[in-house]
A = this chain, B = another copy of it.
């Protein structure tokens, strides 16, 4: 059985290799897991011996097919649990990530299937993150971000990729949540600042960094 630590390593390798299906550098993995780099190296070598990742020393890690299978399972649990906490227990979508971080390692397939059915087999979690299917399919649709999208056109927020509670509260207070309508009125690269128009003519200022973690699609 995969231990909690193993599950966390695999999940983070998966998350860090999103988009760039390149090797994940050790330093990034260590930072994501909040361990020192040496610890990550040791662990990754063990995972490689188990056949869960392949390790190019000095360059980085990548999931094997088996490692990816395990990681997708963890991610599915994580995101279904977040959805449950918001939809059924009515918790705040800005605070459920930390809860799911622990529960994702404790919930069985039997319970997960019931949860999934109760929620009506949702495709995304409260942050707009796609939920892997039971068969291990993960929607990898690419969206523009507020940092890269066209100006002035009406858009819909589809996903917020940053997970930290403070960030999400900042976003929530400004109406920046999945499903919300938004328009980029101005984007000043030099100043690193964007001006957004929300529904109801509300004006909101966000940093370029923040804008990069807010994914949008054309409002149709």
Residues of A within 8 A of B (CB): 85, 88-91, 95, 99, 102-103, 105-108, 110-111, 114-115, 118
Nearest CB on B from A85, distance (A): 7
- When distances are taken between beta carbons in the complex, the residues of chain B under 8 Å from A107 are 102-103
Q: Complex: how many Å from CA A95 to CA B111? A: 11
Q: Which of B89, B106, B118 contacts A89 (CB 8 A)?
A: B118
- When distances are taken between beta carbons in the complex, the residues of chain B under 8 Å from A89 are 111, 114-115, 118
- When distances are taken between beta carbons in the complex, the residues of chain B under 8 Å from A118 are 88-89
Chain copies in complex:
2
Using CB atoms, name the residue of chain B closest to A102.
Answer: B106
Q: Which of B99, B102, B114 contacts A90 (CB 8 A)?
A: B114
**20 additional contacts, CB 8 Å, given A88-B118, A89-B118, A106-B106?**
A85-B111, A88-B88, A89-B111, A89-B114, A89-B115, A90-B114, A91-B110, A91-B111, A91-B114, A95-B110, A99-B108, A99-B110, A99-B111, A102-B106, A102-B107, A102-B108, A103-B103, A103-B106, A103-B107, A105-B106
Using CB atoms, name the residue of chain B closest to A90.
Answer: B114
Q: List, sorted by A's number, 16 A–B pairs whose CB atoms are closer than 8 Å.
A: A85-B111, A88-B88, A88-B118, A89-B111, A89-B114, A89-B115, A90-B114, A91-B110, A91-B111, A91-B114, A99-B108, A99-B110, A99-B111, A102-B106, A103-B107, A106-B106
- When distances are taken between beta carbons in the complex, the residues of chain B under 8 Å from A90 are 114
Q: Complex: how many Å from CA A145 to CA B103? A: 37
Using CB atoms, name the residue of chain B closest to A118.
Answer: B89
- When distances are taken between beta carbons in the complex, the residues of chain B under 8 Å from A111 are 85, 89, 91, 99
Using CB atoms, name the residue of chain B closest to A107.
Answer: B103
Q: Complex: how many Å from CA A118 to CA B111? A: 18
Q: Complex: how many Å from CA A90 to CA B110? A: 11
User: Which of A88, A95, A118 has the most chain B CB within a 10 Å cutoff?
Assistant: A88
- When distances are taken between beta carbons in the complex, the residues of chain B under 8 Å from A88 are 88, 118
Q: Complex: how many Å from CA A137 to CA B110? A: 32
Q: Complex: how many Å from CA A107 to CA B99? A: 7
